[in-house]
Structure 1
């Protein structure tokens, strides 16, 4: 299954995750979430409101980063708390490639209650897209 608390130490790195996002992914996410804001699919509208291009949904970006932790634990239910600040949008060009979100994590604390705090870094186009991203997880003994 996933990692056990006896196998981790402060400073350990989680396996990195790279997730491509295309315009088709944004359309699928819009359908699933009900968020059809045109900044997520209409380049003309996005640039008219001052964005560089169509951008990924913030909650989709957050989900991609959370996937790093759920894949590491092997159990999404092990995540007790997860929070982020949105610092920069993920720009998704219509070029057949789209954008890539690169996510990494590091164990910053093993708490007295047996939980583990993970600091998460998410980047796209070599720039941070989430700030203060952390997860608190409970790992099996």
Structure 2
């Protein structure tokens, strides 16, 4: 049974430039800050950055892996507070994801607070998923 304080199994994801290209094609977001180092630095970024929605999707994967059901997410939101800088190498950027059940509601849903970190610092703020729990 799911209870407040339960922790989701952590998830670590390596994000590489090829992932950004695939995501750009799927999302039709070809902003050059997600693939062009020169332009990204010219606009003040530390380098090529992952799409915010891609990072948010990774955090969503943490929850769907735990529930084994992508359709169980009822509501999901987050703020983008820091970019994930993706180097042009084989290692890419490591995004570390954790989650904890904040509360379980009488209607069979639960609130899950998600933490997404890159280089030890949070990249999403107020990342919260409301999920429909499986019936036991």
TM-score by length of 1: 0.94
Give 1:81 deviation, angstroms: 0.3
The match for 2:128 is 134
The match for 1:122 is 116
Distance 2:86 2:73 in 1: 28
Q: Secondary structure at the match of 2:25?
A: helix
Q: Which 4+ stretches in 1 moved above 2 angstroms?
A: none
Q: Per-residue CA shift, 1:40-94, capped at 9, x if unaligned?
A: 0000000000000000000100000000000101111011000000000100011
Query: What runs of 5+ residues in structure 1 fail to find an aligned partner?
Result: 1-6
Q: Secondary structure at the match of 2:6?
A: coil
Query: What runs of 5+ residues in structure 2 fail to find an aligned partner?
Result: none
Give 1:16 deviation, angstroms: 0.2
Aligned residues: 135
Q: Secondary structure at the match of 2:128?
A: strand
The answer as to 2:122 corresponding to 1:109 is: no
TM-score by length of 2: 0.97
